[in-house]
Amino acid sequence: MDRPIATAPKTRLPELAILLAGCLVALLSFGPRSVMGAFQLPVSAAYPWGAATFSIALAAQNLLWGLGQPFAGALADRFGSKYVLISGALLYAAGLALMGQTSSALGFDLSAGVLIGFGLSGASFNLVLGAFAKLLPPQRLSYAFGAATAAGSFGQFLFSPLAGGLIGSIGWEKTCLVMACCVLPAIPLALAIATPPAPVQTKANASEGQIATFRRALKHTSYLLLVTGFFTCGFQLAFITVHFQRYVVESGVPAIFGYWAFALVGIFNIFGSLLSGYLGLRLPRRYILSAIYFSRALATLVFISLPPSPQGALIFGAVTGLLWLSTVPPTSSLIGQMFGSGHLSMLYGFAFFSHQLGGFLGVLLGGYFREVSGSYTPVWILSIALGVISGLINLPIVEASANPAPQPAE
């Protein structure tokens, strides 16, 4: 199978060190972000503006994360990943710290929404995937993408019970400060996965090359199908991340089972992501993506159809975990196959914008229907419908290079 991904450049660090550093960055960036839903109830109890503002701030966070991702990816492709990752980690940590110190709705929107959103666009595992594509051999990329995604999931497993325990013992405000400190080690780790800037002789044409590639991608049917399907992934993940804890509590299930169910999402996603990366080397990735979306729809339908129970929450967490970020390895490797590694961060960044636009709507609609109707059921049903649609959308994708064929020399 043709996979036009550029050969990795020579680097001073061994491949294992690059892989471990990138996985740690993914763990530290995704961990605190994944537990945002744990703050909803204590923030709502602390301030009269809590519930509505929380949903708006987290929806804005998802949207700005997505909006900033293509630009962060383009900067990393052109100038190297180091300073993009460092800047993103600093913004991310500042947003977490200020989130716990603000007492106004505007301050919460700016910290939890704007700062964390833009910080994540520069410090999330999406930049790690782009760095891997430039630093590691092509034959290892599918597995490396799966490993980075699994590391992010392990961060979710670690941080979910940690956040729940800290909120109960030291309060949500101080927990935000702890989370901010946990992000800071990503700064020195960024040095280990620093990618080289575009060669000096091509920098003058780098912007033009990026724009031309981006325009070509927007006309490529398979890329557009991939991006459209990724919208559903963001919708489902963000809705569950922000609203699942509240849904569990309001269903009469003790909150502790919500925390552990979400931790199970993280631990089972390690296996799901690694399995997805492994299968991507052996099966058509469009079929893997379709199977994931269809399975999510089925799991959600079963979960909301059964009476609420601790066992049901835990089983749903485990099943959802297997399907959680398992879309990332096939999606990112398909983009690499279509357009090569040179613009992977930018083009995956645009796909991720679609993902986060879905996340924005998932969080916002979840909060809206909960406040208006007192129920999350309409959003659960919409999530099922989107899963079926995305499962169908991915089937026609053509897994081949979209780059123009080289012209024979005259």
Instruction: Find the largest Cα–Cα distance for the chain.
Output: 75
**Cα(312)–Cα(317) distance, integer angstroms:** 8
pLDDT tens per residue, range 55-93: 888 888 888 988 888 888 888 888 888 999 999 999 999
How far is the CA of 179 from the CAs of 97, 166, 240, 272, 376, in angstroms? 8, 10, 20, 26, 28
| Confidence tier at 202 by pLDDT (50, 70, 90) | low
Residue 19 · residue 147 · CB < 8 Å: yes
Residue 52 has pLDDT above 80, yes or no: no
In the chain, the percentage of residues whose pLDDT exceeds 70 is 91
Residue 266 · residue 157 · CB < 8 Å: yes
207 backbone φψ class: left, alpha, beta (φ>0; ψ -120 to 50):
alpha
Share the mean pLDDT of the chain: 85
Alpha helices in 136-205 (DSSP H): 141-170, 172-183, 186-190
Residue 220 · residue 371 · CB < 8 Å: no
pTM: 0.75
Q: Where do the structural domains in the chain lie, given as residue ranges?
A: 15-195+206-393
pLDDT tens per residue, range 330-369: 998 898 888 886 777 788 888 988 998 998 999 889 988 9
Residue 1, SS3 per DSSP: coil
Top CATH class of 15-195+206-393 equals: mainly alpha
Q: Which residues contact 230 (CB under 8 A, 6 or more apart)?
A: 327, 331, 351, 352, 354, 355, 358
Residue 181 · residue 13 · CB < 8 Å: no
Residue 301, SS3 per DSSP: helix
Please report the pLDDT score of residue 1 as a whole number: 40
**Cα(332)–Cα(350) distance, integer angstroms:** 11
Any idea what DSSP says for residue 112? Answer: I
